[in-house]
Amino acid sequence: MAEKTVKEITSMDEDFTQWYTDICLKAELVDYSSVKGCMIIRPYGYAIWENIQKNMDAMFKATGHENVYMPMFIPESLLQKEKDHVEGFAPEVALVTKGGQEPLAEPLVVRPTSETLFCEHFSHIVQSWRDLPKLYNQWCSVVRWEKTTRPFLRSREFLWQEGHTVHATAEEAKEETIRMLNIYTDFCKNYLAMPVIQGQKTESDKFAGAEATYAIEALMHDGVALQAGTSHYFGDGFPKAFNIQYTDKNNKLQYCYETSWGVTTRLIGAFIMVHGDNNGLVIPPRIAPTQVVVIPVAMHKAGVLDKAGEIRDRLAAAGLRVKMDDSEQSPGWKFAEYEMKGVPVRLEIGPRDIENNVCVIARRDTGEKMTVSLDEITSFLPQLLDTIHDDMYKRAEERRDAMTYVAHNKEELKEITDSKQGFIKTMWCGDPECEDAVREEFGVRSRCIPFDQENLGDKCVCCGKPAKYMLYWGKQY
C-alpha cells in the first residue's frame, strides 16, 4: 500500500519486470494507493501523458475529428444490444448497484469502452447523408476488472482516447480505420521514436463486435511484444443493432458504417521498455516534460547562478522545455537524478565554462559529452534533440530487426522459442486451429498479419498445408 521506496534500479538483464517497476516508481511516474488494481499517475508521469495528448489531439483535429464527452455509466441493457460486444466485455465490468443510498432498478456498468453510448447518440443525430460522416473522439478513463496490475500496462482503470466514427459507406469507414492506424504509426515514429509493425489481427484476436481489427505492434527491450494501438472496422453490425440509418441522396434509407480506434497510457509503458536502460528512463525528446536540464556547477561562485538562469531563459524563449536545478544537492547527485529521470539533455555550466563562453552538454541516450559555445546553444540544442530522436528510433529499429526471426516449420519454431525472445515471422494457412496449436506448443501468440507481406515459402509453419498469409508471432505484454 505504502509507496515502495526504490534504492537502486534492478538491472534489466537480471530481472526485466522488476527493472520496469523500479523505474516507474523511482522516476516518480506512478504511485500505488489503497485502491486495488488502480494507480496514481504522478506529476512527472502525467506531464508525459499531457504531451502525448496534446500532440495526438492536434493530429486528430487536423484530420477533422471533434472531441465529445459521453457518460461514464452504461445501463446493462444498453451494453447488451450488440451480442458479440457484450460477450467480450461482460466478464470484466465493474457494476454500480447503489446510488444515493438506494438500490438501482437497473445496474450501471462503469464504461469499459463506449461503443454502445456513441451508437445510441448517433442514432439520435444522424438522419440524412448531410449529417455524415461524424468523426468523434473522447479522452477519458475506462474500467476493466483485471486480475493483475502493472503500471501503465495493466490496471483496472486506465486513461485512453477512444475515437468513434460513423460513415455513409463501407469504403469510407474502411479508409478511416486505416487512416487512424497510420496516425498512430506516425505518432509512435515521430513522437515516441518507436518503430511499430502495422497489420490485421487474426479472427480470434478481433475486438468484440468488430468485422476487422488492425493493430500496431512494438517490440520491447526484452523481446516481448506489446500491442500499442488498435483500429476497428465495424461494418454495419452496430448500426443494425442500434438502428443508425440515414436517407441517402436518392431518398432511400441506408444503414451506416462505423469504426472505433484507441490508444492508452500503455504508450508510456511501451517507450519505457523500448528506450530505457540500466540507469533508468530515456524519454523521447518530443514528449519529455523537461528536454534540457541546466545544472550550475560550483554554484556558490559569483556569476554562476545568474549565468545558468540566463541560459535557462534563453532556451525557454527558444521554445524548449527547460528546467534549472539550483537546489542544494551536489552536481553529482543531480547528474544521476536527471539521468535516472531520462531528461534527454543535460547542460552543465561552471566558472571556467563561463570564462570560456562555453557549456558542457551531455546526451542521455548515448552519454556523449560535448563542449558548445554559449552563442550557439539556441540553434544547437533544438537540432541535437532532433538528432537524439532520430538516433533513438534507429537503434530501436535495429534492435527489433535483430530480434526478429523466421521459422518455416515446427522444428525451426522450437529452436527459436527455446533459445530466443522476439518476433517470429512465419507463413500461415489461416486456420485458427494452427494458431491455437502454435500457442499451446511454443507459448507464442499471433501478433498480426502485417500489411507488409513477405513470401517466406508456401507452407503453413504448423500444418504444412498451403499458406495464405505471413504472420508475426511473439510473447505479449
Interaction of residue 159 with a second copy, rule CB under 8 A: yes
In the complex with a second copy, the residue whose CB is nearer, 78 or 429, is 78
> Exactly one of 31, 131, 172, 436 binds a second copy (CB under 8 A); which one?
31
Show the binding pattern over residues 124-143: x = contacts a second copy (CB under 8 A), - = does not.
xx----------x---xx-x
- Which window, 151-159, 197-205, 353-361, 377-385, contacts a second copy (CB under 8 A)? 151-159
Interaction of residue 179 with a second copy, rule CB under 8 A: no
Residue 452 CA to residue 445 CA, distance in Å, equals 19
Helix residue ranges, H only, 290-407 = 304-317, 331-340, 351-356, 377-402
Interaction of residue 309 with a second copy, rule CB under 8 A: no
User: C-alpha 105: how far from its chain's center?
Assistant: 38
> Exactly one of 63, 64, 95, 466 binds a second copy (CB under 8 A); which one?
95
Helix residue ranges, H only, 207-350 = 237-242, 266-275, 304-317, 331-340
Helix pair 43-62, 266-275: axis angle to 10 deg: 110
Q: Which residues contact 421 (CB under 8 A, 6 or more apart)?
A: 222, 223, 224, 403, 475
> Exactly one of 110, 153, 173, 343 binds a second copy (CB under 8 A); which one?
110
- Which window, 90-98, 252-260, 344-352, 451-459, contacts a second copy (CB under 8 A)? 90-98
Give the number of residues in contact with a second copy, rule: CB under 8 A.
Answer: 56
Interaction of residue 316 with a second copy, rule CB under 8 A: no
Q: Which residues contact 246 (CB under 8 A, 6 or more apart)?
A: 126, 127, 128, 129, 131, 132, 168, 253, 254, 256
Q: Which residues contact 98 (CB under 8 A, 6 or more apart)?
A: 104
Residue 379 CA to residue 357 CA, distance in Å, equals 16
Interaction of residue 97 with a second copy, rule CB under 8 A: yes
Min dist CB 39 to a second copy, Å, is: 7
Interaction of residue 192 with a second copy, rule CB under 8 A: no
In the complex with a second copy, the residue whose CB is nearer, 157 or 397, is 157
Q: Which residues contact 292 (CB under 8 A, 6 or more apart)?
A: 315, 320, 321, 322, 323, 343, 344, 345, 346, 347, 381
Interaction of residue 317 with a second copy, rule CB under 8 A: no
Angle at 157 between CA 156 and CA 163, to 5 degrees: 125
Interaction of residue 7 with a second copy, rule CB under 8 A: no
> Exactly one of 15, 35, 441, 457 binds a second copy (CB under 8 A); which one?
35
Interaction of residue 241 with a second copy, rule CB under 8 A: no
Min dist CB 18 to a second copy, Å, is: 20
Interaction of residue 117 with a second copy, rule CB under 8 A: yes
Cis peptide before 75 (omega within 30 of 0): no
- Return the residue matching grid coordinates 479522452: 139
Interaction of residue 148 with a second copy, rule CB under 8 A: no
Interaction of residue 178 with a second copy, rule CB under 8 A: no
Interaction of residue 145 with a second copy, rule CB under 8 A: yes
Min dist CB 188 to a second copy, Å, is: 22
Interaction of residue 249 with a second copy, rule CB under 8 A: no
Is residue 247 within 8 Å of 128, Cβ to Cβ? yes
Q: Which residues contact 257 (CB under 8 A, 6 or more apart)?
A: 166, 167, 168, 169, 170, 172, 173, 234, 235, 236, 239
Pairing of strands 66-67, 134-143: parallel
- Return the residue matching grid coordinates 518476433: 423
Of residues 43 through 82, those in contact with a second copy by CB under 8 A are 43, 46-47, 49-50, 66-75, 78
In the complex with a second copy, the residue whose CB is nearer, 66 or 390, is 66
The residues of the shown chain that bind a second copy, judged by CB under 8 A, are: 2-3, 31, 33-35, 38-43, 46-47, 49-50, 66-75, 78, 90-101, 107-108, 110, 117, 120-121, 124-125, 136, 140-141, 143, 145, 147, 156-157, 159
